[in-house]
Amino acid sequence: MTEDTFRSVAIERSSLGNYVVRNVRGGSVSLGTGKDGSFTPVELLLAAIGGCTAVDVDHITSRRAEPTGFTVAVTGDKIRDEAGGNRMQNLRVEFTVTFPEGADGDQARAALPRSLQQSHDRLCTVSRTVELGTAVSIVESSAPTAE
């Protein structure tokens, strides 16, 4: 992999069931089991799916007009499948986007369906990865023992 393609985050345990996720730019988000206000891993997955498409759609449509409203609702069902494993199904990303009246708003409204389709079909790395199914490797790294 090259510097242009490589992505990473680091997750550090802060207490039982509580973690901090950090990116290389210094950003952080709390991750947990859902017993407090922190995001669960599934919620972060939903946020990543919706957020990825939101960024794409926003960049495309905002060239024409600044939206007057822009919300994204991402839903799904967490199930235990036939193999006894947990997974999500029925994933749905619903956009509610409004633009001002006038020619620029009309252009942005006209661009919205195409931008949603472009994001889904080729731009959004997150939802494409989920839909195409990418293998995940889980490995153990030997850490020095505490003395």
Which mean pLDDT values do the consecutive 10-residue runs of the chain (147 residues) have?
86 96 96 94 97 97 98 97 94 98 98 97 96 94 75
Residues 6+ positions from 80 with CB-CB distance below 8 Å: 86
Q: What CA–CA distance (Å, rounded) separates 2 from 25? A: 18
pLDDT value at residue 19 = 96
pLDDT value at residue 142 = 78
**pTM for this model (two decimals):** 0.89
pLDDT value at residue 48 = 97
pLDDT value at residue 1 = 60
